[in-house]
Amino acid sequence: MIKVIIIGSGNVAQHLIAAFQKSQKEGTEIELIQVFSRKREALVHLLGSDQITSDYNQLLEADLYIIAVSDDAISTVSDQLPFKNRLVAHTSGSVPLDVLNDNNRKAVFYPLQTFTKNKAVDFRNIPICLESENATDFQLLKKVAQTISDSVFAINSHQRKALHVAAVFVNNFTNHLYQIGSEICQENQVPFDILKPLIQETAQKIMSLSPEEAQTGPAMRNDKKTIEAHELFLYDKNQATIYKILTQSIQDNGKKL
């Protein structure tokens, strides 16, 4: 059995715990033997108390330790691990491999997905990006990742940073645009639900088309009359600025093609 320990109790940690528990029930050779959490109560709904520790010195011996904490805390947590020459991975999309303490073998186990508390996800569809210092450790990481996901990739630190930036555009920024759309609807007594089929179709299109091929709208058509009407309608300066920047970006991109 490959023994795994998770360090952390936040969203990513809890989703990983659930994924590994499901994997164990399916009879894989991965065993989640322990979880470290400063707040034991955060995990009692997932694990028995005997599997949770809040003392670094009580960490068991494992084949892989996954640090699933906030980016700012990764280095501090890594420095507090009381052992040497064991495989330690963090789960961050933006933090480089070398932030981990030199006492242990360094790796990255990055699930590229947005995680929300109490919102279940199917890990089988989540890409897991792996990086390690040597081929032997990579093979172990790969074996662990493949027990919970069907999409496993070798991604170096530079590529992972690029992916993380791209993910901010397609996820965080897109969701903020949903928020702006929702505010415009609310201000004009229009149900936001009316837009949901459009949102679904837009996301679905890029499953078969490139984003360039899927682009539509007044900016793409250079429909100046509609664009000017929209800009006049948006009395909120922030919304108007975002509209102008995105319109210009779409038009500039169209000139490149």
Query: Which token pair is 128?
Result: 């897991």
The pLDDT score that the predictor gives to residue 75 is: 96
Same domain? For 146 and 44 the reply is yes
Expressed as residue numbers, the domain containing 224 is 161-256
In the predicted structure, residue 38 carries a pLDDT above the cut 90: no
CA–CA dist 153, 138 (Å, integer): 11
- Judge if 22 and 142 occupy the same domain: yes
Structure confidence at residue 236 (pLDDT): 95
Q: Are residues 151 and 42 in the same domain?
A: yes
Per-residue pLDDT band for 44 (boundaries 50, 70, 90) equals: confident
Does residue 25 surpass a pLDDT of 90? no
Examine the pLDDT at 257 and tell me if it is beyond 70.
no
Q: What is the CATH number of the domain that holds 11?
A: 3.40.50.720
Q: State whether 49 and 175 are in the same domain.
A: no
Q: How many domains is the chain partitioned into structurally?
A: 2
Q: For residue range 149-196, what is the model confidence (pLDDT) as tens digits?
A: 999 999 999 999 999 999 999 999 999 999 999 999 999 999 999 999
How much of the chain exceeds pLDDT 70, in percent?
99
Check pLDDT > 70 for residue 222.
yes
Q: Answer whether 0.85 is exceeded by the pTM.
A: yes
Same domain, 128 and 240: no
> Rounded to an integer, what distance in angstroms lies between the CA atom of residue 125 and that of residue 151?
7
Q: Which residues pair with 72 in a beta bridge?
A: none
**Using an 8 Å Cβ cutoff, are 173 and 242 in contact?**
no
